Amino acid sequence: MNVVIRNRRRKWIILLLPILLVITCIFSLTYGSVDIAIKEIWSVIIENDQSTFHTIIWELRLPRILIGLLVGACLAVSGALLQGVMKNPLADPGIIGVTAGGGLMASITMLVFPAYGYLLPITAFIGSFVTAIIVYGVAWDKGASAFKIILAGVAINALLGAVQNGIMVIFSDRVQAVIPWLAGGLSGRGWYHFSFIAPYAIIGLLLSLFAIRSANLLMLGDESAKLLGQKVELHRFLLITLAAFLAGIAVSVAGLIGFVGLVIPHIVRLFIGEDYRYLLPVSALGGAILVVFSDTIARSLFDPIELPVGVLLAGLGAPFFLYLLKNRGLI
């Protein structure tokens, strides 16, 4: 890649992505089982017109879009951070089990301790974090290769899945409430869920701005980073914690959504390079666009049945992952 082209791309992408995000949100407001014209949306949102569309827009579509934005941004940034820390372009919170760990803790909270439902983002974070540390620890042998992390992740994912199933069988009387959540979707999410995760998501995304310098130094390699005075182990630990926190937030409201953290940073890197000053914010925007757009398609595709967006994203993301594995000669 040539620098002139890279810098020009950076400029255009930073200019165009926010516009694309707005367009995606408008598309998501208009499109669905009921199509609503843009001027209707204008009159409902700006002029507070109490028409029939008022409920659809205010109570259904808008909160769902906002949640989609946050979930997408959190997952993409989490993936970008994990890829940097683990020096592994294939790391994704879904693939290496970090999402599943958060999901397990979240379903334990919902099924076993439903009274503590308000702690969901925290328990999901703990699950994600512990899983991330276990996967990284298992794969570590004077460095953790891409392949080892994926293998360890597959094994941990299988184990977590088994425990998840066990809990669902034991608490089968309550399981109805958890199933749509597990499939990974935004169906039925409203303002309550938004207000529930927004503070955590905003804190997590703001903290990721402070992670840029560390992530960039780690990118130089452990030796070089140490020689430049960075406490490598400490920073790696902090970045894994932050990545798990972001994944946990997404899991707590949207369930198991995979591949956003893999696909988005990967594509962004191809266009603008690996500098985290650009990679992180552009990934956040890209993740937000992908999730909102996919969710709009997912809820309209088989109308009146809503497909969980996690299912659609897995359908798109898994082939992409296989392509990457093949491309790198890992399979």
Q: In angstroms, what is the minimal distance from the CB of 268 to another protein? A: 15
Query: Tokens at residue 256, please?
Result: 């198991």
Out of 112, 203, 220, 322, which residue is the one contacting another protein (CB under 8 A)? 220
Are 10 and 4 in contact, with CB atoms under 8 Å apart? Answer: no
- Stretch of 127-135, 146-154, 218-226, 321-329 lying at the interface with another protein (CB under 8 A): 218-226
Asked if residues 252 and 124 have their Cβ atoms less than 8 Å apart, the reply is: yes
Work out which of 69, 95, 98, 217 binds another protein, going by CB under 8 A. Answer: 217
* Tokens, residue 135: 């996967």
Candidate ranges 55-63, 157-165, 179-187, 223-231; the one touching another protein (CB under 8 A): 223-231
Report CA-CA distances (Å) from 250 to 10, 34, 48, 95: 27, 27, 31, 15
From residue 83, alpha-carbon distances to 99, 191, 272, 295 in Å are: 15, 32, 16, 25
Q: Smallest distance, Å, CB 38 to another protein?
A: 42
Looking at the Cβ atoms of 218 and 314, the one nearer to another protein is 218
- Find the binder of another protein among 2, 48, 176, 327 (CB under 8 A): 2
Q: Which residue has the tokens 């650009």?
A: 278
**Which one of 22, 37, 227, 270 is in contact with another protein (CB under 8 A)?**
227
The binder of another protein chosen from 22, 228, 301, 330 (CB under 8 A): 228
Q: How many residues bind to another protein according to rule CB under 8 A?
A: 23
Asked if residue 1 binds another protein (CB under 8 A), the reply is yes
> Which x/- pattern over 6-35 shows residues binding another protein (rule: CB under 8 A)?
x-----------------------------
Which residues 260-299 are close enough to bind another protein by CB under 8 A? 273-275
Q: Does residue 203 touch another protein according to CB under 8 A?
A: no
**Looking at residue 305, what DSSP letter applies?**
S
Cβ distance 284 to 260 under 8 Å?
no
Decide: is 145 part of the binding site for another protein (CB under 8 A): no
Compute φ and ψ for 161, nearest 5 degrees: -60, -40
Q: Is 49 in the site for another protein (CB under 8 A)?
A: no
Q: Is 216 in the site for another protein (CB under 8 A)?
A: yes
Cα–Cα distance between 103 and 197 in angstroms, integer? Answer: 15
Asked if 229 is part of the footprint of another protein (rule: CB under 8 A), the reply reads yes
Should residue 207 be labelled a site residue for another protein when binding is judged by CB under 8 A? no
| Residue 219 in contact with another protein, rule: CB under 8 A | yes
Please report, as a single letter, which amino acid is at residue 90: L
Report residue 141 as tokens: 């042998």
Q: What is the DSSP string of 161-220?
A: HHHHHHHHHHTTTTGGGTHHHHT---TT--HHHHHHHHHHHHHHHHHHHHTHHHHHHHHT
Tell me if 141 contacts another protein by CB under 8 A: no
Q: Write down the residue that tokens 């002139």 correspond to.
A: 4
213: contact with another protein by CB under 8 A: yes
Among 226, 297, 300, 311, binds another protein (CB under 8 A): 226
Cβ atoms of residues 298 and 311 within 8 Å: yes
Which positions lie near another protein, rule CB under 8 A? Answer: 1-3, 6, 210, 213-214, 216-217, 219-221, 223-224, 226-231, 273-275
